[in-house]
Amino acid sequence: MKSSPPNKNLISLRSKPFVVSKTKLSKTFTMQVRKNPEKPGRSIKDVWDIRKPLLKDFENNYSYIVTLRGKGNIAGNHYHKNKQELIFPIMGNFTVLLENIESKEREVISLEVTKHQVIYFPSGIAHAIRAETDRAIFLVIATSAEGDVVQYKIL
């Protein structure tokens, strides 16, 4: 059976964020959620599509899942010299604190899994993520697997 080529309009609808918001130190994306009436009880949120990357020149070279067990637990408290990251909440709610390591400007962003948000961490911006629910899980998509982590406590 010969398959037909993908519909370009469908690709852009599936993979492109619904809303892109520029914050003081970063960007957030509200992702599309796809539901098919022929498949009730199922929805799909695209995480990464090389045909429609969220950021120009951002290459997905390393991905991993972080689980925070217990409200108030923290991940991060560091920055990267070169690596950039996208954070996709999978379960729970989060408070994200960002700090420009040069100007010391700070920003607090709330991430809620039900809002289908994604946040971008540019290199040189310190970041920490605190779980606001008893179990919180997020996916990290990074431009590098190299450990260019510089510890920087902000939470």
Strand order in the sheet with 19-22: 19-22, 27-30, 117-121, 85-91, 135-142, 62-69
pLDDT single digits (tens) 89-143: 999 999 999 999 999 999 999 999 999 999 999 999 999 999 999 999 999 999 9
pLDDT single digits (tens) 18-31: 789 999 999 999 88
**What pLDDT does 3 receive?**
47
Measured at the alpha carbon of residue 9, what is the angle toward residues 21 and 120, in degrees to the nearest 5?
Answer: 25
- Per CATH, the number for 16-151 is 2.60.120.10
**What pLDDT does 52 receive?**
77
Distance CA 41, CA 18 (A): 22
